[in-house]
Copies of this chain bind each other. A is one copy, B any other.
Amino acid sequence: MSAPVFLGVIGVGGVGTAFLNQLARLPNAPKLILLARSTQTLLSPTPSYSPSIPAAEWKTASATPSLTKSGALSAEEIANYLSSAPGRSILVDNTSDPALAASYPVFLRKGISIVTPNKKGFSSDLSLWKDIFASAAQGNALVYHESTVGAGLPVISTLRDLVATGDEVTRIEGVFSGTLSFLFNTFAPVGGSGAAGKKWSEVVAEAKELGYTEPDPRDDLNGMDVARKLTILARIAGLEVQAPDAFPVESLIPEELRSLDGSAEGVKTFMDRLGEFDGQMTEIKESAEKEGKVVRYVGSVDVEKKEVRVGLQRFDKDSAIAGLKGSDNIISFYTKRYGSNPLIVQGAGAGGDVTAMGVSADLIKVVQRLQ
């Protein structure tokens, strides 16, 4: 149960850095033999694949003379390097790169397992999803991606356990974006306290200021991040969702501002002009209030009707979704066994440390299965 396992890691952004910190403290960690950032790759020298890269000192490790340095390597090159290591190997993809995700089958067919928080591989065209899992079976490799939905919250693993043990998942519903959770918890709080008076554009500006949104807040407001998460959950629940744009996704970008480009100038114009449309959001909020409800941005999968939806919905003020705090996610699984009260998972669904936690926990499980 203790064959050596080798590890390649790509990406040293927020999640990547947090992951490397966690890796450095894992007992029984696999040997880190490749660490790639955008233009630089650090490798353990072949053919010995030794010494390994010290995860604790990854920032300064490129100065270590016994390690090999290289520019950016192609996916093929990385896969060849890892698959020639003297033991099973794992690739941790801590990027959000669609091109790297598209090459997962190359790794998997060579027997390299994948652990990743990168949603792209699992939420793009259905053919890629199928290719990934067929390649994993063919290469006798594993694919773990807990952090693609709800960061480190036990969402993917719970859904897979429900399905694998023969439960019938009828419906999945929840708040899947920390950013949109914060925006609506602030814009339309249950208590209706002081903050209730803030205009939508003010809340968005505040969230941007706090770093809670993407640098371009339209990447949150267009709903595509939530749509990708729903695509993943729907597929695990058994629906053949073709792509994340194959079902209704409500964009919170006003119609009139959709033609603005993605440049810094475009972002600025968008933020400047968003206030012109505050009336629309106020109306949505007040119309919910008249029914004694609050509005939230949610996603849902109705497995029986084969319907996936992402958008605004009204919720009773005493519901769990309405009562969400801060930027928490909440995911409810309605199943045959759990009956009328769903199985609920709730908590922070974004942030480097908790996302990295999901990656580290997956890595531990993959290592346990490979050894």
Contact = CB atoms under 8 A, between A and B. Distances in A.
A344 B345 contact: yes
Contacts of A320: 320, 323, 346
A320 B320 CA distance: 8
Contacts of A364: 161, 164-165
Interface in A139-156: 140, 152-154
A52 interface: no
A296 B328 CA distance: 24
Contacts of A348: 337-339, 341, 343
Contact of A347 (B1, B154, B343, B369): B343
Nearest to A363: B165
Contacts of A354: 337-338
A161 B162 CA distance: 19
Contact of A360 (B22, B140, B165): B165
Interface in A344-358: 344-348, 351, 353-354, 356-357
A342 B354 CA distance: 12
A158 B153 CA distance: 8
A46 interface: no
Contact of A161 (B1, B333, B345, B361): B361
B337 A353 contact: yes
Contacts of A161: 152, 154, 357, 361, 364
A276 B364 CA distance: 55
Interface in A144-186: 152-154, 157-158, 161-162, 164-167
Contacts of A199: none
Given A22-B166, A320-B320, A337-B353, A343 B343 contact: no
| Closest 4 A/B residue pairs (Cβ) | A343-B347, A161-B361, A344-B346, A165-B360
6 contacts: A26-B165, A161-B361, A166-B360, A318-B318, A337-B348, A346-B346
